[in-house]
């Protein structure tokens, strides 16, 4: 009984409309599921399709049993899916606090309470709440982007390379935060370059290559597979 289901997704951009050539993906209740794969495999394209930024040519996406295929991003957000894009995931000229407020735009009543919570969880956001988001460091931006997604109570959180550009220490802290958020009951889908870290915190993993599902399975098993270790884990 999965929360999020994407079946046989074919999607792309304009003339290149088959970047994804029939991809399946699912995140079950309370799970962390990771997507790994080489650059250009279509991982971000899959997340854009799930969140409504791209309309799939064929295939279906459902959230909590409800069909959300081809719906607008704002409708999908209201249906309970929070998505943190790989790039451009903050409002640069707005303050950190205003970014959090916009994160909770669809649930304004809960915003004050959740801002307090976000600043407890990520103290740097409290310290810098009056700073323009554009002045934050790369790591602080990723934290802000994730905190913005948590300003609503989503049923599924989709993260696109949250650790990109972070120092190893900052990345480790971020993964800790992801595990903690997951323990609170949130289902999480995560795209990562940092494959070993991602596999370590996930229960299930999808390997995407050239717009197709290459391998799918238990994260620990995939992490132990020699072929996969050689290609993705550099060992």
Partner 1 sequence: MEVAQLVLNGVMAGTVLAVPAIGLTAIFAVLRFTNFALASHMTIGAFAGFVANTTFGLPIVPSLATAFLVSGFFGWMSDEFVLRRLRASGFVTTAIGSIALTIALENFVRFGFGNQMRGYDLPLRRDWVIQGLRVSPQQVENLAIAVVVVALLFAFLALTRTGKAMRAVADNPMLASIKGINSDTVARLVSFIAMGLAGLGGMLTGLDTTIDPLVGFRTILSVFAAAVVGGLGSIPGAVVGALVVGIGEELSLLFLTPAYRTAVGFLAILLVLTLRPRGILGQRAY
Ligand X SMILES: Nc1ncnc2c1ncn2[C@@H]1O[C@H](COP(=O)(O)OP(=O)(O)O)[C@@H](O)[C@H]1O
Nearer to ligand X, 133 or 190 (CB): 190
> CA 142 to CA 126: how far, in whole Å?
15
CB of 38 to ligand X, least distance (A): 7
As given in the structure block, the two tokens for residue 98 are: 């205003």
CB under 8 Å to 199, separation ≥6 — which residues? Answer: 34, 36, 205, 219, 220, 222, 223, 233
Binding ligand X (rule: CB under 6 A), the pick from 44, 89, 99, 187 is 44
Binding of partner 1 by 83 (CB under 8 A): yes
Binding of ligand X by 13 (CB under 6 A): yes
As given in the structure block, the two tokens for residue 191 are: 């795209």
| 149-188 positions binding Mg ion, by CB under 5 A | none
Give the CA distances from residue 185 to residues 3, 32, 57, 60, 205, in Å, rounded to whole numbers and listed in that order: 12, 10, 32, 25, 19
**Looking at 44-52, 74-82, 87-95, 136-144, which segment touches Mg ion (CB under 5 A)?**
44-52
Please list the residues that pair with 9 across neighbouring strands: 23
**Looking at 22-30, 42-50, 106-114, 119-127, which segment touches ligand X (CB under 6 A)?**
42-50
**Looking at 34-42, 108-116, 127-135, 224-232, which segment touches ligand X (CB under 6 A)?**
34-42
Binding ligand X (rule: CB under 6 A), the pick from 1, 16, 183, 235 is 16
Binding of partner 1 by 102 (CB under 8 A): yes
Helix (H) or strand (E) holding 170: helix 168-183
Question: What is the CB neighbour count within 10 angstroms for residue 207?
Answer: 23
Binding partner 1 (rule: CB under 8 A), the pick from 65, 108, 234, 235 is 108
Residue 45 binding result from Mg ion, ligand X, partner 1, none, given CB thresholds of 5 to 8 Å by partner type: ligand X
Judged by CB under 5 A, how many residues of this single chain contact Mg ion? 2
> CA 188 to CA 27: how far, in whole Å?
7
Residue with tokens 């620990």: 220
> CA 89 to CA 87: how far, in whole Å?
5
Binding of ligand X by 43 (CB under 6 A): yes
- Residue 177 sits at the vertex; the CA angle it makes with 209 and 76, to the nearest 5 degrees, is 60
Binding partner 1 (rule: CB under 8 A), the pick from 57, 66, 78, 230 is 78
Binding Mg ion (rule: CB under 5 A), the pick from 2, 27, 44, 154 is 44
> CA 78 to CA 75: how far, in whole Å?
5
Interface residues toward partner 1, by CB under 8 A: 51-53, 72-74, 77-78, 83, 85, 88-94, 98, 101-103, 105-106, 108, 148, 152
Interface residues toward Mg ion, by CB under 5 A: 44, 86
């Amino acid at each position: 009984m999965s929360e999020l289901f994407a079946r046989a997704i074919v999607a792309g951009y304009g003339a290149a409309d088959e970047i994804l050539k029939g991809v399946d993906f699912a995140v079950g209740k309370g799970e962390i599921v990771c997507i790994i794969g080489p650059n250009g495999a279509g991982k971000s394209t899959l997340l854009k399709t799930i969140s409504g930024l791209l309309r799939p040519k064929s295939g279906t996406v459902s959230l909590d049993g409800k069909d959300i295929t081809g719906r607008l991003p704002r409708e999908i957000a209201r249906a309970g899916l929070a998505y943190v894009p790989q790039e451009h995931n903050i409002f640069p000229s707005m303050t950190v606090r205003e970014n959090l407020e916009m994160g909770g735009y669809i649930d304004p009543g809960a915003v004050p309470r959740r801002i307090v919570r976000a600043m407890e969880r990520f103290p740097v956001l409290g310290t810098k709440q009056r700073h323009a988001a554009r002045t934050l460091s790369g790591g602080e931006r990723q934290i802000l982007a994730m905190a913005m997604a948590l300003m609503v109570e989503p049923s599924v959180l989709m993260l696109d390379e949250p650790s990109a550009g972070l120092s190893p220490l900052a990345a480790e802290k971020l993964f800790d935060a992801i595990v903690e958020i997951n323990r609170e009951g949130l289902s999480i889908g995560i795209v990562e370059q940092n494959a070993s870290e991602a596999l370590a915190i996930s229960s299930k993993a999808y390997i995407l290559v050239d717009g197709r599902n290459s391998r799918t399975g238990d994260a620990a098993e995939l992490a132990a597979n020699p072929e996969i270790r050689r290609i993705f884990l550099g060992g």
